[in-house]
Amino acid sequence: MQRVISASRRTDLVASFSGWLAEGIHRGQVKVAGPSGHTYSVDIDPGHVHSLVLWSKNFHNLIHNASSLLDEAQRYRQLYLHFTITGLGGTFMEKGVPDPPAAVSQLDPLISITGSPERITVRFDPIVLWKEGDAIRSNLDFFSLLAPELARRNIRRVRFSFAQWYRKAVRRAHRHGLDYIDPPSEQKLALASRMVETAREFGLQLLACSQEFLLSVEGVRPSACIDGELLRNLHPEYAPASTKKDRTQRKECHCTESIDIGSYAQFCPQCCLYCYANPSY
- pLDDT tens figures, 95-107: 999 999 999 999 9
Average pLDDT over residues 266-281: 84
Helix (H) or strand (E) holding 23: helix 18-27
7, containing H or E segment: strand 3-7
Region 261-271 average pLDDT: 92
User: Is the peptide bond between 8 and the residue preceding it cis, with omega within 30 degrees of 0?
Assistant: yes
Q: In this model, does residue 180 exceed pLDDT 70?
A: yes
Based on the number of CB atoms within 10 Å of its own CB, is 112 exposed (0-12), middle (13-18) or buried (19 or more)? exposed
What DSSP string runs through 85-153?
--S-BTSTTBTTS--HHHHHTTHHHHHHHHSSGGGEEEEEEEE-EEEETTEEEESGGGHHHHHHHHHHT
Rg (the chain; Cα; Å): 18
Please state, for a pLDDT cut of 70, what percent of the chain lies above it.
Answer: 99
Q: What is the pLDDT of residue 280?
A: 62
pLDDT at 34: 79
Per-residue model confidence (pLDDT) at position 37: 74
Stretch 117-138: mean pLDDT, rounded? 97
pLDDT of residue 65: 98
Distances (CA, A) of 243 to 83, 99, 147, 156, 255: 23, 36, 29, 22, 9
Q: Please compute the mean of the pLDDT values over residues 101-120 and round it to a whole number.
A: 98
Contact between residue 181 and residue 130 where contact means Cβ atoms under 8 Å apart: yes
pLDDT at 281 over 70: no
Q: Where are the domains of the chain?
A: 3-260
Segment 24-65, tens digit of pLDDT: 999 999 999 977 778 999 999 999 999 999 999 999 999 999
pTM > 0.95: yes
Mean pLDDT of 143-168: 97
Beta pairing partners, 42: 30
Q: Where does the pLDDT of residue 178 fall: very low under 50, low under 70, confident under 90, or very high at 90 and above?
A: very high
Going by their DSSP bridges, the two strands 39-43 and 29-33 should be labelled as: antiparallel
Q: Is the pLDDT of residue 277 over 90?
A: no
What average pLDDT does this structure show over 66-75?
Answer: 98
Give the orientation angle of helix 185-201 with respect to helix 143-152, to 10 degrees.
Answer: 30
Task: Report the residue count for the chain.
Answer: 281
